[in-house]
Chain A
Amino acid sequence: MMNKSVTAPARELDEALPFYKPQAREVELFEYGYRHQLPVLIKGPTGCGKTRFINYMAARLGRPVYTVACHDDLSAVDLVGRHLIGDSGTYWSDGPLTRAVREGAICYLDEVVEARKDTTVVLHPLTDDRRILPLERTGEILKAPPEFMLVVSYNPGYQNLLKGMKPSTRQRFVAVRFDFPAPELECEILVGESGIDGETAQRLVRLANAMRALKDHDLEEAASTRLLVYAATLILGGYEPVEACRAALVEPLTDDTETASALMEVVHASLGR
């Protein structure tokens, strides 16, 4: 049960709505999916707001959300639950997926391609019209209530040579693609999220887009909105802007010193010395 974060149910409504700016019609799609019991697949690059979107939607719909960050040792048992040893013998402990099914919550499997292949065994019956979760160990068969919703996400660009989602799994979801927001929107997000002034936000966004142009060519991953928020937070906290960009945008993206110094040139060009 390591490396797994189960967020506390966020039952509080509107006033606790997380900050989120829709990119397209994803909010609508998610609501349709929720109403018609369709599982949703979200794909997009790292740090573009997938997790935030789920939390926002969960708050909007007033459902608790169970987030599971998948890793390559995550097996079906970790999702469904297992027997534990207690004072008076063994007892059954629900995993996050089982708990979400019982409570009619949203279960969010982040980076689902990382999980072991045997997880598909439990995901398949939940994602078609049966909507059941058979608990092999206890002999129970849980029928998912209408409020239960399964959401998975993955990053298609990430190590896609080694990992991919099985087409048979992929075909059970309605899918929505996320990308980095358009510059104006990203500025708003930066301002809204960190509280930085509009002009600095614009410069940061321009810098990020300059660095995104280098993806696949010079960098493996594009500078994410999350990193931009970090940079903005550092700058707002009084950290020197160029150094903040080095710490939040350059060093996290590359280990190669030559590339890093070239990126610093881009930072200098965008922000000034």
Chain B
Amino acid sequence: MEEKVGELWHRLITRLAQDRYPQAAVCLTELDKTLGILFRALGGDGGLRLETAGATHHHARRGLLQRIAGSATKIELAWRDEHALRLPEVIDLFPQQSLNRDLYFWLAALASGEQGRVEPWLEKNQRLTRETLRRYPGMAGRYQRLLKAHLSQRPDPARLRPDEAAQEAAIRQALANPGAVSHLAPARHAPWPVPLWLHPSPPWVSQAGSDSAEPENASAGEAQNLSHERSRRGERTEMPEAERGLVTIRMENILSWGEFAKVDRGAEENEDLDQAVEAAEQMEQFNVTRDGKSVASKLRFDLDLPSDACDDEVLSEGLLLPEWDWKRQVMQEAHCRVMTLQAADAQPMELPARLNRTAKRLRAQFQQLMPARLWRRGQADGSEVDLDAYLRFATERGSGQLTNADNLYLDLRTGARDLSCLLLADLSLSTDSWVDNHHRVIDVIRDSLYLFSESLSATGDRFALYGFSSRKRNPLRFHQIKSFDEAYSARTRGRIQAIKPGYYTRMGAAVRHAHRLLDRQPAQRRLLLLVSDGKPNDLDKYEGRYGVEDTRHAIHEVRKAGIQPFCVTIDERGNDYLPYLFGSGGYVVIRKPQELPRKLPLLYARLTRE
């Protein structure tokens, strides 16, 4: 009963003390794109994210009702720090929606002028206001409207104590006539917050995360979501802070690794096939074994996901491939076993809706690349008479020469390009890492595969999609997503959806196998497109120099066979080793992994241009 009454009382008094207008609220999520563009256009730093500002205590005197209700102790104010422009998640200060909207625009414009100089709050905001109004005269009308509405909401100086009244009067004057007030008299309470200005003492980012803004952080997810691309850029340029910013995610990973950690793999360094098989069989047990003690440093962790038997259907087994040993400079025959797999549980599906727009655009672009239909002259058979050929024939016959009446027709044919492309995607466990808050590398690769197939199916070029990962030299897991002979269909899309990261990157063997597949293609031009996120590596000695040399050898063979290899990587350190593998024109490093899906088809277009 007591509780019930308390609750009712709380609701009543909160409503009475309420000075917000939820019905006129404007959310940051509605405007974030517009605000971002405005902010950048007015001179704001393009590297900044747009984020929601947490509410902070303002320590100002509150009205009686508000004090009773215990509300209105906090306010969301905007500020800008070196990472982000922070705006309130929702603005509902004014009864009209248009005013709340205006306030967002005003704050973005105000913040765009901030240089990060340290100066007193009052002066800074007056200076910013003055400058914004001078540089963007169009903002004046907006400011006047906001000012009028805001002044009517500020506490009445006549009803305050003298010291507070003086302060309030000064602020009113500073608002109405920016630059006029240079000093704020001290008073018992902080002045009533000014939502038209930037935050007086913006909390440091770390604080915002830890103390005051815990609940806001949770709801801020949405807004951060929208600016993830920008946030990524920010992270790249500001390295040390970025590490800190990613802490929550890293912790998560560390926790999940903990579950798989400390796997005892004693048979690790052993090259013996039988033992490797045995080790593989024992894997399942080891994977779930937990052990509080640290393991010997020479043992590596194996973070493998479900064992191969349960997820994928085995298509062919026992194909053996050689591997190059650079130390001994010999080819080790029959060194790796390739296992071609196909996702068993892949359901036919449509293209994900978020890709529809890009896919449509790419398809249109690629359709233009497709060779036009051409009249072929001098055909033995065709839909029209080739008049030139006929004339020649008639003249020759008329002049008494005996010629055969063949090849006298025109035929309309599509000038299909004689081209086959095999796309080989790296599906090793490293693709499980995150490129930003919401995308893993594998997601980016998956989107790339979708858009690539959409684009290529528009041209009519023959293409195949494969993915690979490896667990030492037995087996190399070669995932067939689409073979050359299959048509691109809903089933293919299902298989693209089903790709998942696992194991390691024995690139050389994968390239050799792709080479074999391409060799069977009769096309004049053959392209091997490798999409990767890092160096070749595997658990055994396939690391560092050995892996690079083997891959280089495989690429070299590919090139010798007249197949054009090309590597697209999102590994920023790719410039260190890729020129060695592919030659300076044979690869490209995509700096922003999010761009890979869009860029990959365009790259293909450039590669295959005559």
Contacts and interface: CB of A to CB of B under 8 A. Distances in A.
B42 A262 contact: no
Contact of B46 (A210, A217, A269, A270): A217
Interface string A203-238: 100100011011001100000000000000000000
A258 B40 contact: no
B139 interface: yes
B138 A271 contact: yes
B41 interface: yes
Contact of B109 (A261, A269, A271, A272): A269
Interface string B274-299: 00000000000000000000000000
A266 B46 contact: no
Given A161-B599, A258-B34, A263-B37, A268 B43 contact: no
A240 interface: no
B385 interface: no
How many of chain A's residues touch chain B, expressed as a range?
20 to 34
Nearest to B46: A217
B609 interface: yes
Given A161-B603, A269-B139, A263 B610 contact: no
Contacts of B328: none
B41 A263 contact: yes
Contacts of A163: 606
A265 interface: yes
B98 to A, nearest CB: 12
A217 B230 CA distance: 9
Interface string B573-610: 00000000000000000000000000100110110011
A265 B46 contact: no
A162 interface: yes
Contact of B609 (A162, A214, A261, A263): A162
Contacts, number: 70
B466 interface: no
Nearest to A216: B46
Interface residues of B, number: 27
Nearest to B605: A162
A66 B343 CA distance: 61
B452 to A, nearest CB: 15
Contacts of A266: 37-38, 41-42
Contact of B41 (A117, A161, A162, A211): A211
B595 to A, nearest CB: 10
Nearest to A116: B610
Interface string B23-42: 00000000001111110111
Given A117-B610, A270-B138, A272-B138, A265 B602 contact: no
Interface string A233-273: 00000000000000000000000001101110111111111
Most chain A beta carbons < 10 A, residue from B41, B602, B609: B41
B137 interface: yes
B243 to A, nearest CB: 25
Of A259, A261, A266, A268, which is in contact with the most chain B CB atoms at under 10 Å from its CB?
A266
Contacts of B139: 269
A262 B43 contact: no
Contacts of A273: 138, 141
A218 B37 contact: yes
Contact of A265 (B38, B140, B603, B609): B38
Nearest to B31: A262
A268 B40 CA distance: 15
B105 interface: yes
A259 B609 CA distance: 33
A5 B109 CA distance: 45
Given A162-B605, A162-B609, A258-B33, A265 B43 contact: no
A207 B138 CA distance: 11
Nearest to A267: B138
Contacts of A213: 40-41, 43, 46
A271 B135 CA distance: 10
Interface string A7-48: 000000000000000000000000000000000000000000
B136 interface: yes
B103 to A, nearest CB: 13
Of B37, B602, B603, most A-chain CB atoms within 10 Å: B37
18 contacts: A117-B610, A161-B603, A210-B41, A213-B41, A213-B43, A214-B37, A217-B40, A258-B33, A261-B34, A262-B34, A262-B35, A266-B42, A268-B138, A269-B38, A269-B139, A270-B138, A272-B138, A272-B140
Which 9 A/B pairs are nearest by Cβ-Cβ distance?
A: A262-B37, A272-B138, A262-B34, A269-B136, A210-B41, A266-B41, A269-B138, A268-B138, A272-B137
Given A203-B137, A210-B42, A213-B41, 5 more contacts: A206-B135, A213-B46, A214-B41, A262-B37, A266-B41
Interface of A: 117, 161-163, 203, 206, 210-211, 213-214, 217-218, 258-259, 261-263, 265-273
